[in-house]
């Protein structure tokens, strides 16, 4: 409770008191403003109200005790530094009130500029600006607009309509054509809107404006769009935002003023150079909002060479200081440069790899740090396909490639519609003039985002890049008419539902569906492009960092594969064996008939005959897999799903039989089948006759599989191969189950390998909680454990894995019961604890017990780190995720090693 905070609690920090490591307390923006201040860079003076104050405010709805006094004290220091007082009529100090959380949440929370202006000080501001009345009235109308919308929930469109109306009356479309008189009239119109919605006059007292603006920024932490963004980006909900109160500097004082955003390297490709956007005679938010088209930063050199040179020097200094790509926001006020923000910049997945490798070459970081700075999610993105561009394929328009990838989908113009169509299974491209934070749900639902306005730093670009979503922005050849749900380009009209293809790397837009090409990174992993042949900085960087990860990791990475081609592909991706071969696929297709015979067999000899027919087919499958994985371990799991999964559906069959009977048609075969299906029907098949239970109930089934595995291994060994089979028993809950299977299997192994020795391991899955809790006993009968974390999660939580994610997980995520589905990322505290117990007790009973995981979690980055910590020997995942697991296994080592020094 805020009121219980001790009176010594400090909530407010001058910029000179902070540093970049205090992001928890000061938020990212505040910590970096402090860092820049202490580096001696030109930062306007100001102070930061901590995230602690925000949390206290949000828990009680009021500012905590002592905060107002601290703010007053820091304000007076600020006033002294500036030689002006907040809102003083003759020469007002104005401040901005800016949000800034620990993790950047672009455009999600609020900012209010020009706090301190009122009916009197607007005149003083004009006088101080050399009689620039236009500037003063423009600043005032911006304050009323931002304050009204942010602090008092006045609908933003009302202000926008009034502004549009003023421009129409003047016969212009450009804000800059409005003169002081027009803006003064607009202020009156804005005030009327404000009063209409709030029932009070626009507050004239500067301190009241400040207090209300600060509270509104605190509250914006819980705005819907901020909540949604956090959920999407997995940012914890309880961090709160800091609030930065900063002396205003103005980019809208005339042609010698302006504002811009820059990156120290290209955030899209990682290439070195000067990347940024500049907008003359504009105030901060204009650039980010993408409202007017900006000019490239290089052109600032012609407009203001000294400021440009100073900016470049500062950017070089920041990059060296942060040892990373930085992005910055700056303002030039009458020729003088001011730094408003810096941070280690968001970047695309490709740029992350390229920049990390470049920084190693520049001697700024070592390879461990480079590995730490990339991640598996980025690598997965780079494995997405790209467009296959034929020579005759011409783009219909060119925008700015803001977030790479190739996206194809039906055009939609509203976020709501994007969500509807995506829910119905359609791929959609959200087309807007520009996006704003309200478009977030639609952006999440879309394959790609296309805008006709705004630069690389517009809202659409920044948010899409953060989400790894393809985005083309600033395609100004598109005339977008959202109301009519269409755009025109190059004389053609594209309606909602028409298909377009957008290339977020080149910015090109194509009408219709363009076929896609696999990524260079995938081609590299597959061995079809070498790291040196490709004139491609990205492939070279990936190669270098992956090689380092492989050298550093302790965890082996295997794959889940059930066919020869899958095994071969995974091996090219770096798989070091198979961790799970699910044998049940071998019971499908044209073998279904044999399986039906097995299930329907009434007598022993019928069943034996069916098994004998299945044996050579299974053996041939295993031979193919052992050959592809020659010299590497292959864990083959005996059949797991309930047998009735291989029979027709009960409902369909019942109808079929009933119809046949009604018509008097012969249906003996179907009736027998219906009988069998009824006999085998289970209310909870996931908890029923499957896995080892099936093997113990159907005589000869597991024996046939064991024989097929071992005979295949013998065949490969005879041919000079090096097969390494590991037989895995699923769904074991008690050691006696495993012992029974083991005794039978050992007899078969001894018999089949009499003339050709092959080492065969026998182990078990740990996927029933009881197995985890009795792992000491089970280890006596198992040479290896493989954690089946899918079932372990299902049975640990009591969540039916086929139902719950679609049924109610949204609510659990909303309530914060978990931040991510436990089927996607391991629940460390619960299911993870079962893994830990089983590992420790298993190894205590059998030192050297081999431990692995083969549930879906084996390819999930966070889970890989957990399995490293627990001390497993390997993870196993689908072929496509093998490189991701290799990378993350390496990262897990450097992160554990670096946690003291980093």
User: Which two tokens mark 405?
Assistant: 């990838």
Q: Which is nearer to ligand PEP, 444 or 694 (CB)?
A: 694
- Please tell me the distance from the alpha carbon of residue 371 to that of residue 393, in angstroms, as a whole number: 38
Smallest distance from Mg ion to CB 794, Å:
8
Burial class (CB in 10 A: 0-12, 13-18, 19+), 899: exposed
Q: Which is nearer to ligand PEP, 436 or 790 (CB)?
A: 790
Q: Which is nearer to Mg ion, 112 or 729 (CB)?
A: 729
Task: Answer with the entry of ligand PEP, Mg ion, none that 582 interacts with (C-beta below 5 to 8 A by kind).
Answer: ligand PEP
- Complete DSSP assignment for 317-385: HHHHHHTS-EEEEEEEETTEEEEEEEEEPP--HHHHHHHHHHHHHTTSS-HHHHHHHS-HHHHHHHTS-
Provide the edge-to-edge strand list for the sheet that holds 400-403.
397-398, 508-511, 499-503, 406-412, 428-432, 448-451, 470-473, 400-403
Burial class (CB in 10 A: 0-12, 13-18, 19+), 240: buried
Smallest distance from ligand PEP to CB 690, Å:
9
Alpha helices in 468-536, H assignment, sequence order: 520-526
Task: Answer with the entry of Mg ion, ligand PEP, none that 580 interacts with (C-beta below 5 to 8 A by kind).
Answer: ligand PEP
Q: Which is nearer to ligand PEP, 408 or 882 (CB)?
A: 882
If binding is defined by CB under 5 A, does position 520 make contact with Mg ion?
no
Smallest distance from ligand PEP to CB 846, Å:
22
User: Which two tokens mark 696?
Assistant: 């113990």
Q: Which residues bind ligand PEP (CB under 6 A)?
A: 580, 582, 640, 767, 788-791, 854-855
If binding is defined by CB under 5 A, does position 562 make contact with Mg ion?
no
DSSP letter assigned to residue 761: E
Task: Answer with the entry of ligand PEP, Mg ion, none that 821 interacts with (C-beta below 5 to 8 A by kind).
Answer: none
If binding is defined by CB under 5 A, does position 856 make contact with Mg ion?
no
If binding is defined by CB under 5 A, does position 788 make contact with Mg ion?
yes
Q: Which stretch binds Mg ion (CB under 5 A): 103-111, 320-328, 476-484, 784-792?
A: 784-792
Q: Are 396 and 492 in contact (CB under 8 A)?
A: yes
Smallest distance from ligand PEP to CB 768, Å:
10
Smallest distance from ligand PEP to CB 636, Å:
13
Smallest distance from ligand PEP to CB 560, Å:
7
- Please tell me the distance from the alpha carbon of residue 96 to that of residue 88, in angstroms, as a whole number: 16
- Please tell me the distance from the alpha carbon of residue 543 to that of residue 173, in angstroms, as a whole number: 51
Count of chain residues binding Mg ion (CB under 5 A): 3
Q: Which residue has the tokens 């209310």?
A: 683
Q: Which is nearer to Mg ion, 329 or 791 (CB)?
A: 791
Phi, psi angle pair for 486, to nearest 5° = -160, 160
Sole binder of Mg ion in the list 138, 266, 333, 767 (CB under 5 A): 767
Angle, CA of 384, 385 and 388, to the nearest 5°? 165
Cβ-defined contacts of 185-189 (< 8 Å, 24+): 186/137, 186/141, 186/162, 187/122, 187/137, 187/140, 187/141, 187/144, 189/162, 189/165
Task: Answer with the entry of ligand PEP, Mg ion, none that 405 interacts with (C-beta below 5 to 8 A by kind).
Answer: none
Q: Which is nearer to ligand PEP, 400 or 768 (CB)?
A: 768
Q: Which stretch binds Mg ion (CB under 5 A): 74-82, 359-367, 630-638, 765-773?
A: 765-773
Task: Answer with the entry of ligand PEP, Mg ion, none that 327 interacts with (C-beta below 5 to 8 A by kind).
Answer: none
Q: Which residue has the tokens 């829910």?
A: 423
If binding is defined by CB under 5 A, does position 711 make contact with Mg ion?
no
Q: Which is nearer to Mg ion, 546 or 765 (CB)?
A: 765
If binding is defined by CB under 5 A, does position 536 make contact with Mg ion?
no
Smallest distance from ligand PEP to CB 790, Å:
3
Smallest distance from Mg ion to CB 772, Å:
13
User: Which two tokens mark 444?
Assistant: 């999440």
Q: Which is nearer to ligand PEP, 202 or 866 (CB)?
A: 866
**Which of 185, 176, 209, 182 lies closest to 92 in space, CA to CA?**
209
User: Which two tokens mark 872?
Assistant: 């497993």
Task: Answer with the entry of Mg ion, ligand PEP, none that 578 interacts with (C-beta below 5 to 8 A by kind).
Answer: none
Q: Are 116 and 89 in contact (CB under 8 A)?
A: no
Smallest distance from Mg ion to CB 829, Å:
21
Q: Which is nearer to ligand PEP, 332 or 561 (CB)?
A: 561
Task: Answer with the entry of Mg ion, ligand PEP, none that 209 interacts with (C-beta below 5 to 8 A by kind).
Answer: none
Active site residues: 459, 854
If binding is defined by CB under 5 A, does position 791 make contact with Mg ion?
yes
Task: Answer with the entry of Mg ion, ligand PEP, none that 132 interacts with (C-beta below 5 to 8 A by kind).
Answer: none
Task: Answer with the entry of Mg ion, ligand PEP, none that 789 interacts with (C-beta below 5 to 8 A by kind).
Answer: ligand PEP
**Which of 444, 486, 439 lies closest to 459 in space, CA to CA?**
439
User: Which two tokens mark 463?
Assistant: 């948010």
Instruction: Give the binding site for Mg ion (CB under 5 A).
Output: 767, 788, 791
């Amino acid at each position: 409770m805020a009121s219980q905070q001790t009176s010594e609690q400090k909530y407010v920090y001058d910029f000179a008191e902070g540093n970049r490591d205090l992001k928890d307390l000061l938020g990212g923006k505040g910590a970096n403003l402090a860092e820049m201040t202490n580096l001696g860079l030109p930062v306007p003076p100001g102070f930061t109200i901590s995230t602690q104050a925000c949390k206290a405010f949000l828990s009680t709805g009021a500012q905590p005790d002592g905060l107002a006094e601290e703010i007053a004290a820091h304000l007076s220091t600020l006033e002294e530094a500036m030689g002006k007082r907040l809102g003083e009529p003759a020469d007002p100090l104005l401040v901005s009130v800016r949000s800034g959380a620990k993790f950047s949440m672009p455009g999600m929370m609020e900012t209010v500029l020009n706090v301190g202006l009122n009916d009197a000080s607007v005149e003083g501001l004009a006088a101080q600006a050399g009689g620039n009345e236009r500037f003063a009235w423009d600043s005032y109308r911006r304050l009323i607009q931002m304050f009204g919308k942010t602090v008092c929930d006045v609908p933003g469109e009302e202000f926008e309509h009034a502004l549009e109306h003023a421009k129409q009356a003047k016969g212009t479309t450009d804000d800059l054509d409005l003169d002081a008189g027009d803006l003064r009239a607009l202020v009156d119109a804005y005030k009327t809107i404000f009063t209409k919605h709030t029932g009070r006059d626009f507050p004239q007292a500067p301190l009241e404006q400040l207090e209300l603006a600060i509270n509104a920024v605190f509250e914006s932490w819980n705005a819907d769009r901020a909540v949604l963004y956090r959920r999407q980006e997995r940012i914890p909900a309880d961090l709160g935002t800091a609030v930065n109160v900063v002396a205003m500097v103005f980019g809208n004082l005339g042609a010698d003023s302006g504002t811009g955003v820059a990156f120290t390297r290209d955030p899209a490709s990682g290439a070195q150079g000067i990347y940024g956007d500049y907008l003359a005679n504009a105030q901060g938010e204009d650039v980010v909002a993408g409202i007017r088209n900006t000019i490239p930063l290089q052109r600032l050199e012609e407009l203001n060479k000294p400021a440009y040179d100073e900016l470049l020097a500062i950017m070089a200094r920041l990059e060296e200081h942060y040892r990373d790509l930085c992005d910055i926001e700056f303002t030039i006020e009458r020729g003088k440069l001011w730094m408003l923000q810096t941070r280690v910049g968001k970047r695309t997945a490709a740029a992350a790899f390229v920049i990390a490798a470049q920084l190693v070459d520049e001697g700024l970081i070592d390879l461990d740090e480079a590995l730490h700075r990339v991640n598996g999610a980025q690598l997965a993105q780079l494995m997405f396909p790209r467009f296959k561009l034929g020579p005759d394929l011409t783009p219909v328009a060119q925008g700015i490639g803001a977030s790479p990838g190739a996206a194809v989908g039906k055009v939609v113009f509203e976020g709501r519609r994007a969500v509807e169509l995506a829910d119905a299974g359609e791929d959609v491209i959200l087309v807007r003039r520009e996006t704003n934070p309200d478009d977030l749900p639609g952006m999440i639902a879309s394959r790609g985002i296309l805008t006709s306005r705004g630069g690389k730093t517009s809202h659409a670009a920044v948010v899409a890049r953060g989400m790894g979503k393809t985005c083309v922005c600033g395609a100004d050849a598109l005339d977008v008419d959202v109301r009519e749900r269409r755009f025109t380009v190059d004389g053609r009209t594209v309606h909602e539902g028409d298909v377009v293809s957008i290339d977020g790397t080149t910015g090109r837009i194509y009408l219709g569906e363009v076929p896609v090409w696999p990524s260079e990174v995938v081609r590299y992993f597959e061995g079809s492009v070498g790291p040196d042949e490709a004139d491609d900085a990205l492939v070279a960087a990936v190669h270098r960092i992956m090689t380092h990860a492989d050298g550093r990791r302790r965890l082996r990475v295997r794959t889940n594969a059930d066919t020869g081609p899958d095994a071969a592909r995974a091996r090219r991706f770096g798989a070091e064996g198979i961790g799970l071969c699910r044998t049940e696929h071998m019971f499908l297709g044209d073998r279904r008939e044999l399986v039906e015979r097995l299930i329907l067999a009434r007598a022993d000899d019928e069943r034996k005959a069916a098994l004998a027919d299945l044996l050579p087919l299974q053996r041939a499958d295993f031979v193919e897999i052992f050959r592809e994985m020659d010299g590497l371990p292959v864990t083959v799991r005996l059949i797991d799903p309930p047998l009735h999964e291989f029979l027709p559906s009960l409902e369909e069959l019942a109808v079929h039989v009933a119809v046949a009977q009604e018509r008097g048609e012969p249906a003996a075969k179907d009736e027998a089948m219906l009988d069998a299906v009824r006999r085998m029907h289970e209310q909870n098949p996931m908890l029923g006759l499957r896995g080892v239970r099936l093997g113990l109930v159907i005589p000869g089934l597991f024996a046939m599989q064991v024989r097929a595995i071992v005979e295949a291994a013998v065949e490969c060994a005879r041919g000079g191969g090096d097969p390494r089979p590991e037989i895995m028993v699923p769904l074991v809950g008690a050691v006696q189950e495993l012992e029974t299977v083991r005794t039978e299997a050992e007899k078969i192994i001894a018999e089949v390998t009499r003339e050709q020795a092959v080492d065969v391991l026998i182990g078990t899955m740990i996927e029933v909680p009881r197995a985890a809790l009795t792992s000491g006993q089970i280890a006596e009968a198992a040479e290896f454990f493989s954690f089946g974390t899918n079932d372990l999660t299902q049975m640990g939580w009591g969540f039916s894995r086929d139902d719950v994610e679609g049924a109610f997980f949204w609510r659990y995520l909303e309530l914060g019961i978990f931040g991510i589905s436990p089927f996607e990322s391991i629940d460390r505290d619960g299911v993870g604890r079962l893994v830990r117990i089983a590992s420790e007790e298993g190894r205590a009973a059998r030192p050297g017990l081999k431990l692995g995981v083969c549930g879906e979690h084996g390819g999930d980055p966070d889970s890989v780190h957990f399995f490293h910590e627990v001390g497993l020997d390997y993870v196993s995942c689908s072929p496509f995720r093998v490189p991701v697991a290799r990378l993350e296994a390496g990262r897990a080592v450097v992160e554990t090693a670096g946690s003291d020094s980093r």
